[in-house]
Amino acid sequence: MDEDEMEKGHEDNWGRWGKEDEKGTLNLQTSASVLAALKLPVHGKVYPLAMPISSETRVPHIRNAPWRWLSATSDPRHPQKRGSADEVLVLQYHGASTHIDGLGHMWYDGRLYNGFPEGTIEPMAGLTRCGIDKAGPIITRGVLLDVAGWKGVSRLPNGYAITGGELEACANDHGVEVRTGDAVCIRTGWLTDFKVNPETYPGEPGPGVNALEWLLRREVALVGADNVAVEVTPPEDRSQVLPFHLRWLRDVGGYLIEWLELDALAADRVYEFLFVALPLNITGGAGSPITPVAVA
């Protein structure tokens, strides 16, 4: 590691919560922060933030749509003519549904978050370190930064890298302050367009590395967006692959939520809310499908 990497804050949170920590920035969620977040709703309006899981869901060509098989049986001889349905669902949730990326989803230099070696991965058993089961329930303050709306456009163009300065200006326009432990939801307008124009992929707008540093300085717990990867693609440096993912998950120990439905929040101009998300308790999971909600 050279001096330039050190100055950038390489491996920012390693050891911050102990050498054995596998929870990362969700350690910023405390009893006090949960109680404070629960006081945010004023109207009791609930906003579902997840895409529907359906075999008809449009997904990028590099991913597979959900596959399902439902078996239904009925017994006309039963006094109540009882019937039942059972279902098998195969979901490639990374890239094909609203989901959260766990800290073991991506890494580099042979090390996961907090320095755990990549050898802690067992294909049939999952991650033995930094699995999504270490995250736990997420109950925190949520902030919407509607960058597309702030700029007065329906969607930002593919490859548009949102900067930290733009996030700051957008937050100021919305009258909100991004704080420690927040769930920051960034609206680009991309998802709304993709639903009717899937050929617009590959490529999407999203926060670039400059925005990552801005978010890091504010110690947010997670970042989500209405796109496939949260971050801008293609990346600003074409020699890199998903640099935001690598730095945020592995160095910072932060979480990402992709495919968020944010249009309803933006339409109602709800910029601060109670954010609740419950990852499935998948032992050693690299992530989890998720249905976050905002309560205003």
232 backbone dihedrals φ, ψ, rounded to 5°: -65, 140
Question: Does 223 fall in a domain?
Answer: yes
Q: Which CATH number covers residue 44?
A: 3.50.30.50
Query: Are the beta carbons of 190 and 204 closer than 8 angstroms?
Result: yes
* Cis before 234? omega within 30: yes
How far, CA to CA in Å, does 55 sit from each of 58, 92, 99, 120, 196?
8, 12, 16, 33, 16
pLDDT in tens, 185-237: 999 999 999 888 877 677 899 999 999 999 999 999 999 999 999 999 999 99
Domain assignment present for residue 158? The answer is yes
Residue 155 falls inside a structural domain: yes
Q: Is residue 99 part of a domain?
A: yes
Distances (CA, A) of 27 to 16, 188, 218, 219, 295: 10, 28, 15, 11, 22
9: domain range?
3-52+95-295
- pLDDT at position 9 is 46
Residue 64 lies in a domain: no
pLDDT interval class at 70 (50, 70, 90)? confident
Residue 194 lies in a domain: yes
pLDDT in tens, 117-139: 998 777 778 999 999 999 999 99
In a domain, 76, yes or no: no
How many distinct structural domains can be found in the chain?
A: 1
Distance CA(185)–CA(145), nearest Å, equals 6
59 neighbors 95 (Cβ within 8 angstroms): yes
pLDDT for the residue numbered 245: 97
Does residue 132 fall inside a structural domain? yes
Which amino acid is it at 111? R
Contact 144, 271 (CB under 8 A): yes
